[in-house]
Structure formats: structure tokens, C-alpha cells
Structure 1
Amino acid sequence: MIKIGVLIPEQYKLLSVAAILEVFEAANKFQFASELKETFDITLLTINNQVDSFFKTYKTDTINTEEKFELILIPSFTTNDIKNTIALNRAYIPWLIKQYNSAAEIATFCTGAFLLGATGLLDGKAATTHVDACAAFSAAFPSVQLKADKTVTQDGRLFTSGGATSTFHLLLYLLQIHCGKDLAIKTAKIFAIDMDRHNQSYFSSFQPLRHHNDEIVACAQEKIELNYQDISTIEEMIKDIPSSRRNIVRRFKQVIGITPIEYLQQTRIEAAKKLLEQTAQQMTEVIYNSGYNDPKAFRKIFRKTVGMTPSQYRDKFQAR
């Protein structure tokens, strides 16, 4: 029997924990129905052994336990203040390192990757997280090889998943590793999960940092957002801003995490996505109205950024 430890940290997302428990319970039921022993022995792990009432039927323990787990699962968090959330859960960090050094596998779901990142175990390794949390993750853990477009990553005994329903893709992957593909397929059918989704880029939305105190950067952001259809060079962006090109680029990258040209590109692609979702404009109109003149260049940048062609994106997301 495989010993699984599911963390119940401060500010955990209930839906994330519920998905984890539902999938492994379903796997155990499949095994039992096939006259096999249940495969997974699940323990909920907390700092103080206090769990919400709906978890009372599960075995619980604290991280003071000397028990060694084969697989440890870290759910997503509910908050956008991830720095404070990690501080609230810092007691888990040495415990996770100890378990990993004792040969445990560790898997994180969505923003749960931030807690694993704080252990240092992901340094130099591949990881993913929710697409809209990738910029914050990259800034917090620059040594991690962030794969922002990936639904699931594995690097040795460390696993991560992207946002929301990507949780199920990682759970199925873990089932396949530990129990074989047949059980993973049975479970996928029960939860109606497409097993072949490997990319999450098209779920992202460009949400640049706005609450900062750099007036020059804020001015540059405003100029780009108001004039993205017409400007194409940094010189045009900074024409009326009282600062040198070098200083603006440096400060912009430091505050926002990307260069002004990258910001312009992201703004244009986001505009194109909205036009594809919300209008019936011809593709040539979408290209022009999002600030591009070269259809070939637009399609190349769109596919690289979004993970699919503009036509595929419209087919998938346009309101009918």
C-alpha cells in the first residue's frame, strides 16, 4: 500500500483538496471492485492536527510524525498574497525537505508550487503553476526552470501541475505511474477528463502588475495600453516620458518583469484574444485592430504566446 500524505496548509483551496481525495478514493474503489487491495493509504497532515469538520472521516496527523510517506501532495492556495501564505506555512518547509531526503515523491497543484519552491528543492528543476501566477513564481524563484505552458511537469521525484483542472491531469499521471494506465483511464472516464491536454497557455490572461510606486513605469504602461495599435518602437513609447530609453527599460523590467516591447506584444495578443472571443471580425480585421500589419508575424507570435493558432482559439472560446 502506498502511503500518501495530503497537506492541509493555511489558506488551502477546498476544491483542490477535494479533487485529490476524490481521485484517490475512486482509484481505491476500482481496486476493491477488482478484488484487489486498496492501493492508497491517505493521511491528512497539518501543523496542529486541526482539520475542518468535513475531513473528520479521514486519518489525520501532524508534521511532527516520524512516519515516512511515499507520496506527498500539496494543494492550491486561495490567496493572491502568496508571500504571506508561505510565511504562514513555513513550518512545512523543513518537514518537506526531510521527507524528500527520505525518498518521498512530492507533487504540487496549481499555486501549491510556491510552497515547494520555498524549500529550494525545485532549484534547477522544471516546474509549472497556474498560468496567471507564473510571473510571480518566476520572480520569487528565479532558479527554477519554469515551464509556464505545461499542464504537468516531472523532474525526478518532484511533480507540479498548472491551474484548476490541470490538477486532474497530474493526478491521472500519478495513478498511471503507480498503478498503470488501465486504472488511470478508468478514473479519467469517471471524472470526464481528457487525458491528452499538455498545454495550458490558452487559459492565460495578461494581468500586468499595476500597484507599484514607479511613476515612470506606470506612465509607460498607460501609453502602451492606450496606443498599442499605433506604436511599434520603444522610442514612440517613451517620446513624452522624462527619462532615457536605457533607464525606462531597466526600471520596467525590474518592476513588471518583462521589457516594454514584450509588454506591448502581450497587450496586443490579449486584445486579439478578446476580438476573437467577442466579435465576428474577419481575421484580417482582428490582426489590424490588435496592432499588427504582417499576418504571418501575427500568427507566429500568437501561436508562440497562446499555444494554438488564432482560428483554433476562436473555435474554442468564441461565444456562440
Structure 2
Amino acid sequence: MIKLGILLTQQYRLLSIAAILDVFETVNRWYREEGKTVPFDIRLFYNEKTWSLQGDAVFHGYQLESVHNGSVQDLVMIPSFVNESVGHALCTNQEILVWLKHQYAAGAGLASFCTGAFLLGATGLLSGKLATTHVDACKDFSFAFPDVNLQPDKTVTQDGRLYTSGGATSSFHLMLHLIQQYCGKIVAVKVAKVFSIDMDRANQSYFSTFQISQQHNDELVAMAQQKIEMAYHNTGTIEEMIKDIPASRRNIVRRFKQVTGITPIAYLQHTRIEAAKKLLEQTTDQMTEVIFKSGYNDPKAFRKVFRKTVGMTPTEYRGKFYAG
């Protein structure tokens, strides 16, 4: 029987915990109904020093166990955090890091879901290893953990006994991966059917939304961002768009990348692709119109950049996300 420890962190996302429990309890129930030994011994762990609980520490029928009791698991699951400051969440879960490192050193596998990867990253165990997280949190993750080999487009990663998943429904793909590993493909396929999970989805790029804040202190960079966002639909060059900014091209490019993390050209491309995505989602415009309105005049170049950025063709994207 696999000792499956689910970590109740401070600021955990309830949906993340509920999904994990639902899937693994379902698998256990199937085995029980067939008269077999259940594969997972599910336990919930918390840091009692940072929790204020009245009476017995019980969560959805589970007696909570302390991370200080010395119990070693075979697999530990780290849920996603709520949509608040991940930095604050890390600060409130500092004592958990020691427990996670102890579990890993004792032979446990560690699996993080969505932004739970930040807690796993904070252990230092992901240094030089593959990982992913919510696609819109990848920039912050790379900044916080530059030595991690982040795979922003991946739905699931495994590097030895370390597992991570992308955002939201990608958590189900990681659970499928683990269930197939521990219970076999037949059980994994059954889970996929019951929970309506597309087993073949390995990419999360098309869920990304391009967002870079202009709330910074560099007025020239903010001016460049505004000019690009106002003129992206023109087919002019980046030099033409920022020509009125009182700084040399070299200086503005340096400052732009320092503030936003990308070059002005990359910013323009992402802005144009984001505009194209909205047109594909919200209009019935012909593809030639979408291309032109997005600022491109070369259909081949547009399709190449779109596929590289989004992970699928414009036609496939419209088929998946058109809201009409």
C-alpha cells in the first residue's frame, strides 16, 4: 500500500485538495468494490504550530497528522495556493520546507500542483531539475528560482522522484501520471473516462494570457509599452513605433528588457498574438482579416509565430476557444 500524504499548507486552494481527494478516494473505492486491497493509504498533514483549530483536528473525515510526528510517506502531494501573494504563502509555510526535505531524503516522491511548485522550489530540491507551474506564474517562478529548468509549456514534468503540474486542470494530468505509475494504465484510463480528462494533453501554452504590468518606475519603458500597445496593429517595425521616445535604441532596449524581462520586439510579438487570440475567440473574421488586424502582412510568418507562442495553429485555437 502506498503511503500518500497530502499536505495542508497555509493558504492552500480548497479545489486543489478536493480534486486530489476525489480522484484517489475513487481509485481506492474501485479496489474495495472488487474485494482488493486499496492501493493508497491517504493521510493529511499540517503544521499544528501555525494552525488554530478548535477541538479535534479533522478535515473531511480525516484525522489530521502533524508534520512533526516523524511519519515518512511514499508520496507527498503539495496543493496549489490561492490567488494571493505566493511570496506571503511561502513565508507562512517556512517550517514545511524542512519536512518536505526530510520526506525526500527518506525516499518519498514529492508532487506539486499548479503554484504549489513555488513551495517545492523553495526547498532547493528542484535546482537543476525539470519543473512546471501555472502558465501565468512562470515568469515569477523563473525569477524566484532561476536555477530550475522550468518548462512553461508542459502540463506535467517528472524528474526522478519530483513531479510538478501546470495550472488548474493540469493537476488531473499529474494524478493520471501517478496513478498509471502506481496502479497501471487500465486504472489510469478508467480515471480519465470517469473524470472526463483528455489524456493526450501535454501542452498548456494556449491557456496563457500575456500580461506585463506598467506599474513600474521607468517612464521611458512605460512609454514604449503604451506605444506598442497602441500601434501593434500597424505593420511597421518596432523602431518606427518607439522612434519618438527620447532615448537611443540601445538604451531603451536594455532598459525595456531589464524592467519587463523581454525585448521590445518580443513584447510586440506577444501583444500581436494576444490580439489575434481575442479575434479568434470573439469574431468570425476570416483568417486573412485576423492576420492583418493583428499587425502581420505575411500569413506564413504569422502562423509560425502563433504556433510557437500558443502551441497550436490559429485554426485549432479558434476551434477550441471560439465563444460564438
Question: TM-score range with shorter-chain normalisation?
Answer: over 0.9
- Determine the structure 2 residue equivalent to 1:198: 202
Cα deviations by residue, 1:67-109 (Å, 9 ceiling, x for unpaired)? 1111010001113311111111111112111111111100011
Question: Which deviates more from structure 2 when the two are superposed, residues 234-243 or residues 32-41?
Answer: 234-243
Q: Where do residues 43-58 of structure 1 align in structure 2 (5 Å cutoff)?
A: 43-48=43-48, 50=51, 55-58=59-62
- Determine the structure 1 residue equivalent to 2:213: 209
Looking at structure 2, the residues matched to 254 and 160 of structure 1 have their Cα atoms a distance apart, in angstroms, of 29
- Determine the structure 1 residue equivalent to 2:28: 28
- Determine the structure 1 residue equivalent to 2:237: 233
Matched, 1:245 2:249: yes
Is the CA contact 1:234–1:245 (under 8 Å) kept in the aligned structure 2?
Answer: no
Looking at structure 2, the residues matched to 174 and 93 of structure 1 have their Cα atoms a distance apart, in angstroms, of 22
Is the CA contact 1:11–1:79 (under 8 Å) kept in the aligned structure 2?
Answer: no
Give the alignment partner of residue 91 of structure 1, picking from 88, 91, 95.
Answer: 95
SS at match of 1:91: helix
Structure 2 stretches lacking a partner, 5+ long: none
Give the alignment partner of residue 114 of structure 1, picking from 105, 111, 118.
Answer: 118
What is the CA distance between 1:54 and its match in structure 2?
7.6
Q: Where do residues 143-182 of structure 1 align in structure 2 (5 Å cutoff)?
A: 143-182=147-186
- Determine the structure 2 residue equivalent to 1:8: 8
Looking at structure 1, the residues matched to 60 and 320 of structure 2 have their Cα atoms a distance apart, in angstroms, of 41
Matched, 1:278 2:282: yes
TM-score (norm 2): 0.95
User: Aligned residues: percent identity?
Assistant: 62
- Determine the structure 1 residue equivalent to 2:69: 65
- Determine the structure 1 residue equivalent to 2:311: 307
Matched, 1:134 2:128: no
SS at match of 1:143: coil
Looking at structure 2, the residues matched to 211 and 88 of structure 1 have their Cα atoms a distance apart, in angstroms, of 26
Looking at structure 1, the residues matched to 291 and 133 of structure 2 have their Cα atoms a distance apart, in angstroms, of 30
What is the CA distance between 1:31 and its match in structure 2?
1.0
- Determine the structure 1 residue equivalent to 2:322: 318
Distance 1:88 1:232, change over 3 A: farther
Cα deviations by residue, 1:87-146 (Å, 9 ceiling, x for unpaired)? 111111121111111111000111111111111111111111111111111111111111
**Could you tell me which amino acid in structure 2 is paired with residue 244 of structure 1?**
S
Looking at structure 2, the residues matched to 42 and 311 of structure 1 have their Cα atoms a distance apart, in angstroms, of 44
Looking at structure 2, the residues matched to 94 and 237 of structure 1 have their Cα atoms a distance apart, in angstroms, of 51
TM-score (norm 1): 0.96
- Determine the structure 1 residue equivalent to 2:41: 41
Cα deviations by residue, 1:264-286 (Å, 9 ceiling, x for unpaired)? 00000000001111111111110
Is the CA contact 1:139–1:257 (under 8 Å) kept in the aligned structure 2?
Answer: no
SS at match of 1:42: strand
Matched, 1:294 2:298: yes
- Determine the structure 1 residue equivalent to 2:260: 256
**Could you tell me which amino acid in structure 2 is paired with residue 242 of structure 1?**
P
**Could you tell me which amino acid in structure 2 is paired with residue 272 of structure 1?**
A
Is the CA contact 2:72–2:103 (under 8 Å) kept in the aligned structure 1?
Answer: yes
**Could you tell me which amino acid in structure 2 is paired with residue 68 of structure 1?**
V
Looking at structure 2, the residues matched to 208 and 97 of structure 1 have their Cα atoms a distance apart, in angstroms, of 34
Looking at structure 1, the residues matched to 126 and 240 of structure 2 have their Cα atoms a distance apart, in angstroms, of 40
CA RMSD of the aligned region, Å? 1.6
Is the CA contact 1:7–1:74 (under 8 Å) kept in the aligned structure 2?
Answer: yes
SS at match of 1:173: helix
What is the CA distance between 1:243 and its match in structure 2?
2.0
Is the CA contact 2:58–2:64 (under 8 Å) kept in the aligned structure 1?
Answer: no
Distance 1:228 1:168, change over 3 A: same
Question: Which deviates more from structure 2 when the two are superposed, residues 48-57 or residues 35-44?
Answer: 48-57
**Could you tell me which amino acid in structure 2 is paired with residue 89 of structure 1?**
N
Cα deviations by residue, 1:149-193 (Å, 9 ceiling, x for unpaired)? 111111111111111111111001100001111111111222111
**Could you tell me which amino acid in structure 2 is paired with residue 150 of structure 1?**
K
Looking at structure 1, the residues matched to 263 and 167 of structure 2 have their Cα atoms a distance apart, in angstroms, of 25
Distance 1:231 1:241, change over 3 A: farther
Is the CA contact 2:235–2:296 (under 8 Å) kept in the aligned structure 1?
Answer: no
SS at match of 1:239: coil
Looking at structure 1, the residues matched to 58 and 166 of structure 2 have their Cα atoms a distance apart, in angstroms, of 26
Structure 1 stretches lacking a partner, 5+ long: none
Looking at structure 2, the residues matched to 7 and 73 of structure 1 have their Cα atoms a distance apart, in angstroms, of 6
